[in-house]
Amino acid sequence: MPNWVTILVIAIGGAMLLEGAMYALFPGPMKKAMQEVQNVPESMLRAVGIGIAAFGVMIVYFLMPR
For 36-46, how does the pLDDT look when each residue is reduced to its tens digit (9 = 90+)? 999 999 999 99
Domain spans, the chain: 4-63
C-alpha distance from residue 32 to each of 23, 35, 37, 47, 60 (Å): 11, 5, 9, 22, 30
With a pLDDT cut of 70, the percent of the chain lying above it is 98
15-27 in b/e burial notation, b at 16+ Cβ within 10 A? Answer: eeeeeeeeeeeee
Contact 14, 63 (CB under 8 A): no
Q: What is the pLDDT of residue 1?
A: 64
Residue 5 scores a pLDDT above 80: yes
